[in-house]
Amino acid sequence: MNEYSKQIKEYRSMEKPGKAHGKVFVRVLGVRGLNVPMPQQATALTCTLNNGIHFVTTPETRLSKDPRIDQEFELIEHNKLEFTLTLKVRRDPHITAQLQALVPPPAPPVQPTISAPKSRGGMLSFFSSSPKKQLRATPPPPPTPPFKLPDNLARYLKQDGTLARALISFKDVAARCDTRLFETSYPLIGQRVEASGGPTTMELGEIVLQMFRLPPLPGVLSNQLPQSLEDCHRGLRHVAWHKVTYFEGTLTQNGGDCMTWRRRRLRVIGANLVAFNDVTKKATATINLKKAIAVEDNQDTRTRALSPGAQSVDDYGGMITVERSFRLIFPGNQEIFFFADTDDEKAKWLDVFRALVGHIPPNPLWAELIWQRQQEMAKPPTQSSSSKPLISPR
């Protein structure tokens, strides 16, 4: 029933613990509630992911209260995986002017005090004194008003344009994003320059992320693994599609593993048409509908064959003469014939097959392995027969 059964057994026999690493996909959706003064002129914002080994910067986006970033990163999982996300504002001329406006103006130069000449005593001083020529004292300059910091964006920036950053420790969210999409947010920590000259640390908003952990899959080649968060999401959605029972009923089959007409209880499970034993309820045969190239109603084929100039009914071995019959066509002129008990059942089966043939989504190997892993983890632990009960019966 599983197209990868043989391949999965081979991969598991090749498993080497410790040789494979998990992947962590991180998508930075954007920033929410950025609480800083916005400049009147447009400027750009970037986000840089740094895991201590590599750093990658996103394309520029316009700075706003809720800027959209929508950039994805792929990381290799390890025990101490941490990374920072740093927001940086482009240093446009008007941003540089804001930074310069934070510098206090230089103090005015001190004016030298002019002292009045000393009085020459005696009669000479008496005759030479004149009220009109007395020197007046220079009034002191008005006091310089204290410098007030402008409330602009530059007050929240470092000299290199850094606005804020968030620190993410992967171990805190690993369990919540294990083989599933997890959306969360982290506070953006920045600072503001105060009048005293020192900075004040504060939260300036939050950065919104989507995360997905792909566990180690030993034996699976790197080119067979998903390359993006969207690949992960789509692959798990497809593998779930392949596990659903879409239709169930009874048909009589001729072809495939049936050399003569055989009545069977059949189920459409994902891309497979599975026959079950009526007594044991176990699967006895599987037809891979992914390999089918067409489904045809034999009634339509019979009508065309009986038309003038068409092939005769005998060319089809008499199969199309069976009432309420149809057939699945496979490459190499292979066919499997069926007929239903009633016209209504035939119509339902035809609808199902026509919806499936040629429209079956892929079922990637890595997604199948993860699905099996999830099924194993969901099973309750088996209790050993040798274990003793906590409370012995009296």
Q: Count the residues in the chain.
A: 394
Six-digit token pair at 303? 């009508």
Q: pTM, whole model, 2 decimals? A: 0.74
Buried b (16+ CB within 10 A) or exposed e, 369-386: bbbeeeeeeeeeeeeeee
Would you tell me which CATH number, out of the four given (2.30.29.30, 2.40.30.160, 1.20.1050.10, 3.20.20.150), belongs to the domain 239-372?
A: 2.30.29.30
CATH topology of domain 19-99+150-216: Immunoglobulin-like (2.60.40)
Per the CB < 8 A criterion, the answer to whether 313 and 306 are in contact is yes
Torsion sign, CA atoms 344, 347, 349, 355: negative
Burial of 95 (0-12, 13-18, 19+ CB in 10 A): buried
What pLDDT, on the 0 to 100 scale, is given for residue 198?
Answer: 82
Q: What is the mean pLDDT of each run of 10 residues along the chain (394 residues)?
A: 63 61 94 95 96 93 96 93 96 92 72 57 52 57 70 92 96 94 96 86 96 90 91 94 95 94 95 92 93 90 50 51 90 94 96 95 92 84 50 42
Domain ranges of the chain: 19-99+150-216, 239-372
Neighbours of 66 (CB within 10 A): 11
